[in-house]
Amino acid sequence: MGVKLVALDIDGTLVHRHEDVPAPRLTQAARRLHEKGVVVVLASGRMFPGTARVARHLGVTEPVICQQGCSVHLLDGTILHEFPIDRKAAIEIVEYARALERAYEWFNPLRYIVSQQSPSTIEYGRVSGIVPEYRLDPENSGVTPTGVGIISSHEEASSIHRSLVHQHGDALHVLDFPEVTVAVAPDANKGHALSLLCADLGIDRHETVAVGDSVNDAPMLAWAGRGVALAHSDAYALDAADEVLADGDERLAEFLERLAP
């Protein structure tokens, strides 16, 4: 079967740190896929506004997957699928963050509420296209969360990850990033979101290609008919992928161009 859908991660894949949009050749490759009738889906850890901004730049019109798979949106903002985290579990994580004396984040697809400002929270707000909200008690903001995260350091994140997995097991999906450990609902991941979107569109998984570079991409790379990691990817993405592509915008652009000759 031919390729009917290509799912693309944004940060670390289509764009790099401090870039706002993909390079010109990558932009043209994605637009050509769209023009050839291939469904192009952006699947990002960003919140909806920042994800939609890149989709509009690329000229694609398909739904987007946001916040590690916590939600799937039409570009007008309509939510097709959303996976809130259990509030009791979220509060337990907040209590653990306080015991560690670490800042924490509480979020849904449109609001990002943090107990303390830091360079990482400012950057996440920038790429996500939102203004972070700061208050000492994010859990009392009235927001029903799709996730909660503990902000720490590269050295501490792995230990926090292990503790959360030990405490919550399969009841939560826990992701370990360099400066934050994020917990979301067990079915909130890019792979599950992509499977739901493909079911909506009538596309078989064997007709899909997914490209990514990080732990939050691993479920998507594993689910897709052809999962492609980049050479700089973390161990989770490399393990989940069917193949590894050399780093560089030119290499990725060439790969996408071959999908839509």
pTM: 0.93
Token code pair at residue 158: 């792995």
Q: Say whether pLDDT at 204 is over 90.
A: yes
Task: Look up the CATH number of the domain holding residue 127.
Answer: 3.30.1240.10
E strand map for 67-188: 71-73, 79-82, 104-107, 112-114, 133-134, 147-151, 173-176, 180-184
Are 91 and 178 in a shared domain? yes
| Identity of the amino acid at 94 | V
Q: Which of 123, 156, 184 is the last residue of a domain?
A: 184
Residue where a domain terminates, one of 184, 213, 240: 184
Among candidate residues 158, 184, 210, the one where a domain is terminated: 184
The residues near 97 (Cβ < 8 Å, ≥ 6 apart) are: 103, 104, 115, 150
Between CA 139 and CA 135 the distance in angstroms is 9
Burial 92-123 (b: 16+ CB within 10 A, else e): bbbebbeeeebbbbbbbbbbbbbbeeeebbee
Residues 67 and 116 in one domain: no
Task: Let me know whether 169 and 100 are in one domain.
Answer: yes
Mean of the per-residue pLDDT values for the chain?
A: 94
Residues 180-201: tens digit of each pLDDT? 999 999 999 999 999 999 999 9
Contact present, 167 and 181 (Cβ < 8 Å)? no
206-235 pLDDT tens trace: 999 999 999 999 999 999 999 999 999 999
The span from the CA of 41 to the CA of 74, in Å, is: 11
Nearest to 70, CA basis, from 143, 166, 155, 168: 143
Domain encompassing residue 220: 5-82+188-259
